[in-house]
Amino acid sequence: MSLDIVDPSPSPPPSHTLCLEQGTRRFFLALHALDTGHAQAQAKDIARALGATGIHLSYETRETNRISEFFRALSVSDFTQSECCVWDGSTTNNTPCFYALGKRHYVRDITMKYLDIPGTRTTVKTRCNHKLCVNPYHFEYVSEPNSRLSCSDKSMLLVWRSQGVPVYQMAQALNVSRSTIYRNLNHERVPLGTTSH
């Protein structure tokens, strides 16, 4: 890495190439990493998010693109609370997505998986109501009206309770009534630990 490059962003320039594998499919991505450990950590998170089974890292540099840029931003939390991050790539039904390893991936779902947030749901909405916003600070979990809480929601309730989150906030976050929250907390007196879902 040459030191004479002046980069205004807080991230280093692309330093590695990540090759993800899933069966016979390959997906290549430029990685911006401070060192090998940082590259490996990112590779693992991206592989989990995309459901890849194989990871190869090399020191080759490769052109960045929208997807590598998004993962770069995730790796250093390069988002602000105040501004939306508007996705300018593919969309399906007005929902930001991209294609990798032969599958469509929704950017907000991928973000939840990348950040390894428990209670990841199929639907992640934005607080800002901007359909194309992919700023994780603007995300909220939404369950379908009247649907019961999933196991992961219940695990999250326990975490929130241990953190002293008020019931009304839990209800808002999961888009259910307060009574649903109370009912579930009453049923979940014993910590779940590693319950299989």
Contacting residues toward Zn ion, per CB under 5 A: 84, 128, 130, 133, 135, 138
Nearer to Zn ion among residue 16 and residue 108 (C-beta): 108
Least separation in angstroms between CB 186 and Zn ion: 35
What residues are paired with 126 via a beta bridge?
139
CA distance 104 to 168: 35
Nearer to Zn ion among residue 27 and residue 139 (C-beta): 139
**CB-based burial, 129-166: b 16+ in 10 Å, e otherwise:** eeebbbbbbbbebebeeeeebbebbbbbbbebeeeeee
Least separation in angstroms between CB 111 and Zn ion: 12
Nearer to Zn ion among residue 49 and residue 134 (C-beta): 134
Nearer to Zn ion among residue 133 and residue 176 (C-beta): 133
Least separation in angstroms between CB 136 and Zn ion: 10
CA 158 vs CA 2, 123, 124, 148: distances in Å: 48, 21, 20, 16
Least separation in angstroms between CB 133 and Zn ion: 3
Token pair of 115, please?
Answer: 């950040």
- Residue 24, classed as helix, strand or coil, is coil
